[in-house]
Amino acid sequence: MKQENIILSKSFEFSVRIVKLYKYLCDEKKEYILSKQLLRCGTSIGANINEAQAGQSKNDFISKMSIASKEAREAKYWVDLLIATGYLSIDDSHVKSLVNDIEEIVKLITSIVKSTQANK
């Protein structure tokens, strides 16, 4: 039985949430610029993590995971900016959950990169 890859699952689920949030921001809030930035980096996290799984070396794996980390931090920035500008409300349970998810993803990726670097 193959063990589930938690970071792959979490990043994919996060991407799905980002796509739905993008649609909401465009349709309901008529916000197209910030949401597009969030869409790009938010969906890029999982793509880079997926790509890292096929890394040609540990250095290649670390490089792709480091890109995923940067994208996750950027996504957190755009979510925080959308909250600060009133497009999203931190009082909304969906928004709180999204912020928690991105913080957890950043921590997981950071841990994976550090442990991989230590085991080189």
Structurally, what CATH architecture does the domain formed by 6-118 represent?
A: Up-down Bundle (1.20)
DSSP 28: T
* Calpha distance 119→41 (Å, rounded): 28
Neighbours of 119 (CB within 10 A): 7
115, burial (CB in 10 Å: exposed 0-12, middle 13-18, buried 19+): exposed
Structural domain boundaries of the chain?
6-118
* Calpha distance 21→26 (Å, rounded): 9
With 90 as the cut, is the pLDDT of residue 4 above it? Answer: no
* Calpha distance 115→106 (Å, rounded): 14
State pLDDT tens for residues 52-107. Answer: 999 999 999 999 999 999 999 999 999 999 999 999 999 999 999 999 999 999 99
Q: What is the mean pLDDT of the chain?
A: 96
How far is CA 103 from each of CA 11, 30, 35, 58, 83, rounded to the nearest angstrom? 12, 27, 19, 25, 15
Q: Could you identify the residue written with the tokens 């909250």?
A: 83
* Calpha distance 88→112 (Å, rounded): 30
Categorize the per-residue pLDDT at 2 as very low, low, confident or very high, splitting at 50, 70 and 90.
low
